[in-house]
């Protein structure tokens, strides 16, 4: 078990690496307050300038109870205003209990997502650093809502958080080299996945999430390269958007708004989604699909999981070693050209992957 003090030190010294006087905003819920406070104290020890931002379940759900659709569609002045001076964010997830999300009218959630577009646009301009700490999402209430084994989930997140970062970085650099070339990628699986697309080459630098926001990451110049999740272990890039042809079918359920999306599938033709379906709860993947602007239906990103301690079937699917995830919609965070108010990603844990004609993943296991 990882102590809160050890995790706080890892967040600040190992991942965020703030410089003196760097303004750090730590977003927390009551159930993560102790860890957030310890993280703020570690920021102070590093000479940074931290502040705590408290959210609660009541305030989160109050947004949908107390505001109209029109109000939710307008970006929060706090969100865009903070970006004028905040250099870095640390996120501890909430709400503690996601069950009520499924009862909120779709129109209100869609309006909130659309309202976030201006916030996202400014984030791409300001490029703050971000550390997202998944242990805050591990609650008994969330486990009950999604049918997770709480003890197994918590143990997995703790183990995956303290995985050997040097090994992650070594594999991440190797994979980044493979996806930095202008070659074709083929993704297949027994569940009907048969997708082909092309990588853009050196003009788009991959991001490597190895748990550290390094000077090399900052030099890449994309928002994804300045962000890290804990637990971590992922490398990705924005491929040639128009190159995707075929079908991708997720084989892991995706938790969203208090429900599990099962069997999500996209069919692409020249980079555009021509069929968007799921075996169950597709509407929870399409919350603001109808309202979204821009390249919402465009192929956007591919990412590969690196973490050998992570397990599929929870919230951290994209970091599981050998997992392939693809995204549609906005991909500017990965250095792509899709500008949209919509974005969604889906994982495939038992894929076969060829990069430049070489098999690198076989049935969800790295072969390199």
**pLDDT the model gives residue 126:** 96
Q: Which residues contact 63 (CB under 8 A, 6 or more apart)?
A: 72, 112
pLDDT at 150 over 80: yes
In this structure, what token pair is assigned to residue 99?
């069950």
- pTM recorded for the entire structure: 0.95
**pLDDT the model gives residue 124:** 94
Under a CB-based contact definition with an 8 Å cutoff, are residues 35 and 5 in contact?
no
Q: Using DSSP, state whether 243 is helix, strand or coil.
A: helix
What average pLDDT does this structure show over 144-149?
Answer: 97
The pLDDT tens digits of the residues spanning 219-246 come to 998 999 999 999 999 999 999 999 999 9
pLDDT at 167 over 80: yes
Under a CB-based contact definition with an 8 Å cutoff, are residues 166 and 236 in contact?
no
pLDDT at 2 over 80: no
Helices (H), the chain: 4-9, 33-45, 57-66, 69-72, 77-82, 106-115, 117-126, 140-146, 150-161, 165-178, 215-220
Side-chain half-sphere of 230: how many Cα atoms within 13 Å?
Answer: 28
The pLDDT tens digits of the residues spanning 169-225 come to 999 999 999 999 999 999 999 999 999 999 999 999 999 999 999 999 999 989 999
User: Among 2-6, 44-48, 232-236, 262-266, where is mean pLDDT lowest?
Assistant: 2-6
Count of CB atoms within 10 A of residue 54's CB? 12
pLDDT at 1 over 80: no
Give percent of the chain above pLDDT 90.
97
Q: Which residues contact 284 (CB under 8 A, 6 or more apart)?
A: 102, 256, 257, 259, 261
Degrees (nearest 5) of the Cα angle 231, 354, 238? 55
Mean pLDDT of all residues belonging to the chain: 96
pLDDT at 3 over 90: no
The pLDDT tens digits of the residues spanning 59-88 come to 999 999 999 999 999 999 999 999 999 999
* Extents of the domains making up the chain: 4-161, 165-366
What average pLDDT does this structure show over 89-112?
Answer: 96
In this structure, what token pair is assigned to residue 207?
């991001």
Domain 4-161 has CATH 3.40.1830.10: yes
In this structure, what token pair is assigned to residue 52?
């705590």
The pLDDT tens digits of the residues spanning 261-318 come to 999 999 999 999 999 999 999 999 999 999 999 999 999 999 999 999 999 999 999 9
d(CA 251, CA 346) in angstroms, rounded, equals 9
DSSP state of 148: -
**pLDDT the model gives residue 162:** 87
In the chain, how many H helices and how many E strands?
A: 11, 20
Q: Give the H or E element holding residue 283.
A: none
């Amino acid at each position: 078990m990882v102590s809160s003090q050890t995790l706080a030190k890892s967040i600040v010294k190992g991942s965020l690496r703030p410089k003196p006087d760097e303004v750090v905003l730590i977003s927390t819920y009551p159930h993560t307050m102790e860890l957030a406070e310890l993280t703020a104290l570690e920021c102070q020890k590093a000479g940074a300038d931290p502040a705590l931002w408290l959210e609660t379940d009541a305030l989160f759900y109050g947004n949908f109870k107390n505001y109209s659709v029109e109000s939710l569609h307008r970006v929060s002045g706090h969100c865009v205003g903070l970006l004028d001076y905040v250099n870095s964010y640390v996120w501890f997830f909430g709400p503690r209990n996601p069950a009520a999300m499924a009862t909120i009218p779709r129109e209100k959630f869609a309006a909130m997502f659309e309202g976030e577009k201006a916030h996202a646009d400014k984030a791409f301009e300001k490029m703050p650093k971000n550390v997202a700490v998944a242990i805050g999402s591990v609650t008994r209430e969330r486990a009950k809502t999604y049918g997770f084994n709480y003890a197994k989930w918590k143990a997995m997140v703790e183990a995956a958080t303290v995985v050997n970062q040097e090994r992650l970085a070594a594999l991440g650099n190797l994979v980044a080299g493979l996806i930095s070339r202008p070659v074709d990628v083929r993704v297949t699986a027994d569940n009907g996945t048969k997708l082909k697309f092309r990588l853009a080459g050196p003009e788009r630098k991959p991001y490597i999430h190895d748990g550290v926001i390094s000077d090399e990451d900052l030099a890449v110049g994309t928002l994804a390269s300045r962000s890290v999740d804990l637990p971590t272990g992922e490398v990705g890039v924005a491929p040639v958007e128009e190159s995707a042809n075929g079908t991708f079918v997720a084989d892991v359920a995706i938790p969203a708004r208090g429900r599990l999306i099962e069997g999500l599938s996209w069919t692409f033709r020249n980079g555009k989604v021509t069929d968007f379906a799921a075996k169950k709860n597709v509407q929870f993947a399409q919350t603001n699909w109808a309202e979204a602007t821009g390249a919402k239906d465009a192929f956007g990103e591919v990412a590969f999981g690196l973490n050998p301690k992570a397990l599929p079937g929870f919230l951290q699917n994209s970091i599981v070693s050998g997992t392939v995830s693809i995204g549609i919609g906005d991909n500017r965070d990965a250095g792509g050209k899709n500008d949209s108010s919509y974005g969604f990603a889906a994982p495939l844990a038992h894929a076969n992957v060829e990069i430049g004609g070489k098999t690198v993943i076989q049935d969800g296991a790295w072969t390199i």
